[in-house]
Structures are given as C-alpha cells and as structure tokens.
Amino acid sequence: MVGAVVAELSGTSQTLAFVIFGIGALLRFRTVLDNPKLTVKAIIVVIVGLACGMGSWVMAVFVTIFSWILIFLLESRLACRIRIRLDDDEADLEQTFSTVQSMLVSRGCRLQNAALYKGKQQLEFFLHIPAELDMRKLELDLRAVLPNANSAKIVMDIV
C-alpha cells in the first residue's frame, strides 16, 4: 500500500521520489521506534502529510481511511503460543488436550495449530487471540480446567 501511494505521489516528479526515499530511510534507520508497527505508522503519517502538502486531498483521505481500517484489522488479534507442561503422569493427556482446546475456542481464540507431546507431558497451542483478552484471566481459566493445576507449568508468549 505504501509503495502504491509513493508511486502515485512521485509520478509527477522524480525529485520527490528521492525525498520520500530519504524520509523513509531516516524514519527507519535513525528514529528510535523499536516496534515495526510504529515504524509503519510513522511512514504512513509522512505519506499522508506529503499528499496534503502536494494538494492531493483525495489521496490523503483515501490513504487515511484505508490505513485506519487496515491497522484495526491487523491489531484486533494477536498471535500467541501457549505451552502447558503437566507434572501429573497419571493425567489423561488426550482428554485434557480436548478440554483445553474447547476452552480456548470458547474464549474467542482461533486455533492455528496444536500439538500433544505425550513423552514430555506437554500441550502446545498456536492461536490468534482477541487483543482485548486478559492474559492473566486466560491463565486462570486454563488452570481451572487442568487436572492438578497447581503443579502445571503454563507459558504464554505473544509472537
């Protein structure tokens, strides 16, 4: 999207293409934005500002609306990996696996991949969770459905 807007704006002047490239390079390599999402947002702001400065108001409005929708869709869910290691050797892993999986789905999570490692007594889930979901509450809910939950080790990583 950014490339298409830059191509449209710089179509009238090759000098403007170098200016946009320079601004992008400064934002990317000289600005302390440790999150790539913030870098993209900063570049979009610069492009909207250039469109306004050039008098391309329709382009600026279109890019702003499109960017807001795109950012909303991309940030409405987070990728997460959940690992659960059970210390109870007598627990029915397959039953626990299906119980945890159904609990995650009931909380609005979209399961991407799941694995059961019987030798390690470990369950692993890769999923997309709603951004507004409280991770501490999710861990408490997980512990509620696990057998011998006090000895279970739960690791949740946002990836």
> Tell me, what DSSP letter sits at residue 86?
-
Classified as helix, coil or strand, 2 is helix
Task: Give me the residue spans of the domains in the chain.
Answer: 2-75, 77-158
- Per residue in 33-58, pLDDT (tens digit) is 677 778 778 888 888 888 888 888 89
Cβ atoms of residues 97 and 61 within 8 Å:
no
pLDDT of residue 31: 67
Q: What is the pLDDT of residue 159?
A: 79
Which residue has better confidence, 12 or 54?
A: 54
CA pair distance 63, 15, nearest whole angstrom = 22
Give how far the C-alpha of residue 92 lies from the chain's centroid of Cα atoms, to the nearest Å: 33
Give the pLDDT confidence of 103-136 residue by residue, as tens digits. Answer: 999 999 999 999 999 888 899 999 999 989 999 9
The fold adopted by the segment(s) 77-158 is Alpha-Beta Plaits (3.30.70)
pTM (2 d.p.): 0.66
Beta bridge partner(s), residue 158: 80
pLDDT, residue 75, reads: 86
Strands (E), 57-152: 77-85, 110-117, 122-130
Mean pLDDT of the chain: 85
